[in-house]
Structures are given as C-alpha cells and as structure tokens.
Amino acid sequence: MNVRLIRGTAVIAVAGFLASGALNAQDRKSCERDYKPHVGQSGKDVVWVPTPDELVQRMLAMAKVTPQDLVYDLGAGDGKIAIAAGKLGATAVGIEYNPDMAKLAQCYVKADGVTDKVKIVQGDIFKEDFSKATVVTMYLLPDLNLRLRPIILNMKPGTRVTSHQFTMADWEPDETAEIEFRSAYMWIVPAKVEGTWSLREQGSNAQYTLNLSQRFQRVSGDISGGGAKQPLVGATLRGDAIRFAFNDDKGVTRTLTGTIRGNEISGVLKGAGGTETGITGTRR
C-alpha cells in the first residue's frame, strides 16, 4: 500500500469519527456555556430547585427502579432524576416546560452518555401523556400533586410514585424517608377494588360474597360464605395484590392472598394447618 493511500484512509477514518459525534461529545461544563440556570428561578407552575443527589437515589430506591421500568420525572429541571434513573438501567423521560432548561437537561443527558436511555421532552406536565410510566417522580408543590392525583390514581395498579417534600393530602404514602431534614414519599397506585365480589373456592366449590370498601390503599369489608357475615381482618392492598383474613362459618381462620385484574380476582385461600386452595371471583 502506498503512503498516499494510507494517509487518505486515515483522513477518511478521522472524518468518520468526527461525523459520528465521538469528538463532539459534550462535557457538562460546555453544556452550561449558553445557559446556566439559577436555583429558585421561576418556572411555569413551580420554581426550579434541584433535588439533592442522595435524595434522588433514595427516591429511586424507594420506588425499586430496575431496568424494566419506564420512569417519568414531572418537571425535570436539569434532568438529574431522569439521568439517575437511566444510569440504573431504566428508560427515563423528563418533562420540563422551560425550553432552555430542557435543552440543558438534554445536553447533560449527552454529556453523561445516557442518550440511549433518557429523553427530555419540552412540555407541560398537565398536557404530556405519561400514562405508560411504571414509576413517576416529582418535586413540585402540594396543589400540583393534588391536581395530578386523579391522573395518577387512574394509572396501572402497581405504578410507584415518589415525591420530594410534598404529599398527596389524604392519600397516605406507603413509605416515607428522610435525609437531612428533607422528606421523600412513595405511593403505590392501588387497584380499584370497591364493590361486591362473588368468590368460588376450587375443590369444595364453596361460595362467598365479599364486600369491599376502599379509600386509596386502605380497604375494609366483610365476607360471608353461607353463615353470618364476618369482618375482614388485617386487609392490605398493595397495587393489585390484596390480602386479608377472616373466620369461616366453622370458625376456622382463613387467609386470602389474591391478585385483582379489573373485575376479576384470583388467588389462594389458606386454611387450618396451612392447607391451600385456589379461589377465583368476579365483581358483581
């Protein structure tokens, strides 16, 4: 091979390298050349204040974020929560209204090498669709959390929601954490279980009528299976997973562990001595 050919090949290789963007990779400092935000600057519905790194990690840990998750940060600021979620392997989207801030966040996404995992969308959290999220994170304000609450409660049961500092009023969190006097809260979207359910135990074919009342993840009610109504004891609802105990008409304590799918329930009924039978049912 002659020298000219070798030089030509080298030039083409370098040009290709440049075109691929490898030498254009931004570092965080260069992202801030055009726009540098300041803490407390106004935003559409709330000012920008970043969540401290340690709390970001705690929020993502509370929500048990894994690579299988689709995380949406509502009001993404500089994108730090979305980027942190992406670094855990999750797919993440940050929605940020301020176009300069959204551009900066996108630049940080590039600088941190997570473009394959993280996207920043410039938009309004009250207009963008985040219904496919499996995890929602936010650091907003109490009234904004409350405006989002009905949307969140209509998301798939089991969706985790975590908020820095602000609660969801009377929807109590499933978990709370505190780091250096800052609080973070986590909720699991509960299935809608209220109503009257007809249950059938496999094998014996015993039938039960289950009445459930619900306030968010708090459930109570009673069950009857031929005999008198018995109150549910220790009822819990976590996402689509329901569990409670009751005394059957023979005075035996039974424990039902089930999964709710819309108007159907299926699970296992434990009886005396740990015997287990399947149980299925539908909402009337």
Ligand X SMILES: C[S@@+](CC[C@H](N)C(=O)[O-])C[C@H]1O[C@@H](n2cnc3c(N)ncnc32)[C@H](O)[C@@H]1O
Name the site residues for ligand X (rule: CB under 6 A). 43-46, 48-51, 73, 75-77, 80-81, 95-98, 101, 124-126, 139, 164
Instruction: State the residue for tokens 């570092």.
Output: 27
Q: What is the spatial distance between Cα 219 and Cα 37, in angstroms, rounded to a whole number? A: 45
Q: What is the spatial distance between Cα 117 and Cα 79, in angstroms, rounded to a whole number? A: 12
What is the closest distance, in whole angstroms, from the C-beta atom of residue 39 to ligand X in the complex? 9
Q: Nearer to ligand X by C-beta: 51 or 230? A: 51
The residues, any chain, with a CB within 8 Å of residue 240's CB and separated by 6 or more, are 157, 158, 191, 259, 260, 261
What is the closest distance, in whole angstroms, from the C-beta atom of residue 243 to ligand X in the complex? 34
What is the closest distance, in whole angstroms, from the C-beta atom of residue 123 to ligand X in the complex? 7
Give the DSSP letter of residue 168: B
What is the closest distance, in whole angstroms, from the C-beta atom of residue 137 to ligand X in the complex? 7
What is the closest distance, in whole angstroms, from the C-beta atom of residue 112 to ligand X in the complex? 15
What is the closest distance, in whole angstroms, from the C-beta atom of residue 184 to ligand X in the complex? 10
CA angle 267, 273, 275 (to 5 degrees): 30
Q: What is the spatial distance between Cα 36 and Cα 61, in angstroms, rounded to a whole number? A: 29
Q: Nearer to ligand X by C-beta: 50 or 271? A: 50
Q: Nearer to ligand X by C-beta: 81 or 191? A: 81
Q: What is the spatial distance between Cα 66 and Cα 89, in angstroms, rounded to a whole number? A: 7
Q: Nearer to ligand X by C-beta: 50 or 195? A: 50
Strand ranges (E), the chain? 70-74, 91-96, 118-122, 135-138, 160-164, 175-179, 182-188, 195-201, 207-215, 218-224, 230-231, 233-238, 241-247, 253-261, 264-270, 276-283
Q: Nearer to ligand X by C-beta: 43 or 195? A: 43
Q: Are 257 and 267 in contact (CB under 8 A)?
A: yes
Q: Nearer to ligand X by C-beta: 165 or 257? A: 165
